């Protein structure tokens, strides 16, 4: 049985949490394969709004197993808070949530290093969520990291101390003013580790292999978006993991020939948090309206998101890199009321018209070229059948499908599970 993927195709925040939640009924296992608590996956159902950071979005479904894969980085302090917030739902966490022994741990000093590095960068800062993601992946590739499996060894505290001491020396090297009380941070960290250690640790690649052999249906849930991929995103304004399809293979131990459907999620417009180039960004009332109506504030940091029209050049690139087989368009409802909808179909790149994503998409090199389409005024949020969608929106969807050469299977018209139209 193949493993299906679900990926964000823009700069994150496309609505992956909602879609995983909607799709979970078709799967036995939901597995996260990269990123960490920099992600914020928002789910809404039965009048409740819930944000998950590290725990897979299948956790609310009785029959789904949830796996945190080896490619994920885990902050025990945030993880404990996530678990505490789940208390009200009566979920048997020990039997429904398994963690890979090969996943890496985010230490308090990783978070401090993130802050020191960003402060030292000044104006060139990435706009990191400051959750310690970059420094933790640096220790992973530098072969110094601490893994979940280390917690099962008697020597883990010594390993922790050695690494934390090294981090403290590195923080000093940055020579910036970072205030912290490590003793206090460590008390919270060690306390949270007790909760983490009470969970089930597994060799997740073996577990997933056996599950596949047994015919279980598996969905790999991506975090962030393709344009934040460490290799293919807008480097250096990216996160530190492979957010694209290949990341699911390395982040779960799934062989490339075992990948089935690749479900790609995009918003009907574009948003970005943090720094970095964004060709279709709007600085006018249209951008403000998208932000206000779309409630575009980071689920993890609360920061306002930058907003702009849909960038088909970037979206095509993401479809291509990931081998997307079906698309899901989110937040179509937010565009209701715009008289004209614009879509960027090409770039003017240093005076030349191009339709591929070039190495450098900084504003001084790239000006978007737009196709203008008619808007629609109808409120979509109460609609639940494809036939109810306004003609102008259907024209927009048809145009995107033709350009992207992939069918749009789901149109989401609101944050709730029920506000989902299947086509
Ligand atoms: P980091 O991964 O926290 O270091 O952040 C690096 C960049 O990725 C920053 O621009 C963040 O705003 C962005 N980023 C990280 N995680 C997310 C996410 O889940 N949604 C949107 N942007 C994110």
- Which candidate, 227, 235, 286, places its Cα nearest to that of 12? 227
What is the torsional sign of CA 211, 212, 218, 221?
positive
Cβ-in-10-Å burial (0-12, 13-18, 19+) of 417 comes to middle
- For the CA of 276, the closest atom of ligand 1 is 10
Cβ-contact 81, 338 below 8 angstroms: no
CA angle 180, 183, 184 (to 5 degrees): 75
For residues 48, 53, 54, 58, the Cα torsion angle rounded to the nearest 10 degrees is 30
Cβ-in-10-Å burial (0-12, 13-18, 19+) of 90 comes to exposed
Q: Which member of 4, 21, 28, 41 is catalytic?
A: 41
What is the torsional sign of CA 278, 281, 283, 288?
negative
Instruction: Tell whether the model's pLDDT for residue 300 goes beyond 90.
Output: no
- Which candidate, 69, 44, 39, places its Cα nearest to that of 54? 39
What is the tens place of the pLDDT at every residue in 52-71? 999 999 999 988 999 999 99
For residues 88, 94, 97, 102, the Cα torsion angle rounded to the nearest 10 degrees is 140
Which pTM does this prediction carry?
Answer: 0.96
Residue nearest to atom 19 of ligand 1 (CA): 39
What is the tens place of the pLDDT at every residue in 215-261? 999 999 999 999 999 999 999 999 999 999 999 999 999 999 999 99
Mean pLDDT of 194-212: 97
Instruction: Tell whether the model's pLDDT for residue 281 goes beyond 90.
Output: yes
DSSP 294-342: TT-B-TTT-PBPEEE-EEHHHHHHHHHHHT--EEEEE-GGGGTT-SEEE
Q: Which residues line ligand 1 (CB under 6 A)?
A: 11-13, 38-40, 126-129, 131, 133-134, 223-224, 228, 237, 239, 273-274
Q: Where are the alpha helices (DSSP H) in 71-148?
A: 76-86, 93-96, 108-121, 133-141
Instruction: Tell whether the model's pLDDT for residue 48 goes beyond 90.
Output: no
- Which candidate, 328, 344, 330, places its Cα nearest to that of 296? 330
The single residue listed with the structure tokens 């975090």 is 223
- For the CA of 13, the closest atom of ligand 1 is 20
Q: Residue 46's pLDDT is what?
A: 87
Among 8, 12, 112, 113, residue to substitute to test ligand 1 (most atoms within 8 Å of Cβ): 12
Among 11, 40, 129, residue to substitute to test ligand 1 (most atoms within 8 Å of Cβ): 129
Q: How confident is the model at residue 302 (pLDDT cuts 50, 70, 90)?
A: confident
Q: Using the mean position of ligand 1's atoms as its centre, give its distance from the Cα of residue 2 in Å.
A: 29
Alpha-carbon separation of residue 203 from 63, 98, 384, 388 (angstroms): 21, 9, 41, 47
What is the tens place of the pLDDT at every residue in 70-91? 999 999 999 999 999 999 999 9
Residue nearest to atom 12 of ligand 1 (CA): 274
Q: CB under 8 Å to 412, separation ≥6 — which residues? A: 15, 18, 19, 328, 329, 330, 331, 332, 419, 420, 421
User: What does the alpha-carbon distance between residue 231 and residue 240 come to, in Å, rounded to a whole number?
Assistant: 9
Cβ-contact 423, 386 below 8 angstroms: yes
Q: Using the mean position of ligand 1's atoms as its centre, give its distance from the Cα of residue 239 in Å.
A: 6
Mean pLDDT of 395-401: 97
Cα of 102 vs its chain's centroid, Å: 20
User: What does the alpha-carbon distance between residue 50 and residue 101 come to, in Å, rounded to a whole number?
Assistant: 27
Residue nearest to atom 10 of ligand 1 (CA): 274
Residue nearest to atom 4 of ligand 1 (CA): 128
Is residue 75 flagged as an active site residue?
A: no
Is residue 167 flagged as an active site residue?
A: no
Instruction: Tell whether the model's pLDDT for residue 298 goes beyond 90.
Output: no
User: What does the alpha-carbon distance between residue 216 and residue 214 come to, in Å, rounded to a whole number?
Assistant: 6
- For the CA of 40, the closest atom of ligand 1 is 19
- Which candidate, 313, 263, 363, 369, places its Cα nearest to that of 30? 263
> Cis ω on the peptide bond leading into residue 239 (within 30° of 0)?
no
Indicate the average pLDDT of the chain.
96
User: What does the alpha-carbon distance between residue 314 and residue 382 come to, in Å, rounded to a whole number?
Assistant: 31
């Amino acid at each position: 049985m193949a493993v299906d993927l679900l990926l964000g195709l823009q700069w994150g925040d496309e609505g992956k949490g909602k879609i995983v939640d909607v799709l979970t009924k078709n799967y036995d296992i939901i597995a996260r394969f990269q990123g960490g608590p920099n992600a914020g996956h928002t789910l809404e159902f039965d009048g409740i709004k819930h944000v998950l950071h590290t725990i897979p979005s299948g956790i609310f479904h009785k029959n789904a197993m949830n796996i945190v894969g080896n490619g994920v980085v885990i902050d025990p302090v945030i993880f404990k808070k996530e678990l505490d917030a789940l208390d009200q739902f009566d979920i048997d966490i020990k039997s429904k949530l398994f963690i890979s022994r090969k996943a890496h741990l985010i230490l308090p000093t990783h978070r401090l290093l993130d802050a020191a590095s960003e402060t030292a960068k000044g104006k060139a800062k990435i706009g990191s969520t400051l959750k310690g993601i970059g420094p933790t992946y640096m220790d992973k590739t530098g072969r110094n990291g601490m893994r979940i499996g280390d917690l099962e060894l008697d020597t883990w505290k010594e390993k922790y101390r050695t690494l934390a001491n090294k981090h403290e020396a590195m923080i000093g090297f940055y020579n910036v003013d970072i205030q912290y009380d490590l003793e206090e941070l460590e008390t919270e960290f060690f306390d949270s580790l007790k909760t983490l250690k009470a969970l089930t640790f597994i060799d997740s690649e073996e577990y997933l292999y056996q599950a596949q052999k047994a015919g279980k249906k598996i969905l790999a849930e991506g975090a962030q978006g393709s344009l934040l991929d460490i290799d293919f995103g807008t480097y250096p304004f990216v996160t530190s993991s492979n957010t694209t399809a290949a990341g699911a293979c390395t982040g779960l131990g799934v062989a490339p020939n075992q990948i089935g459907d690749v479900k790609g999620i995009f918003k009907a417009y574009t948003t970005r948090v943090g720094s970095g180039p964004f060709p279709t960004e709007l600085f006018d009332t249209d951008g403000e309206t998208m932000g206000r109506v779309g409630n575009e504030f980071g689920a993890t940091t609360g920061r306002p998101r930058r907003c702009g029209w849909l960038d088909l050049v970037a979206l095509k690139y993401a479809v291509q890199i990931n081998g997307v087989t079906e698309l899901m368009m989110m937040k179509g409802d937010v565009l209701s009321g715009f008289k004209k909808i614009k879509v960027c179909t090409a770039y003017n790149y240093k005076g030349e018209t191009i339709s591929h994503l070039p190495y450098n998409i900084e504003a001084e090199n790239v000006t978007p070229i737009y196709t203008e389409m008619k808007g629609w005024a109808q409120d979509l949020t109460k609609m639940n059948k494809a036939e109810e969608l306004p003609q102008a929106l259907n024209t927009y969807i048809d145009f995107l499908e033709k350009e992207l050469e992939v069918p749009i299977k789901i149109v989401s018209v609101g944050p709730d599970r029920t506000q989902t139209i299947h086509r």
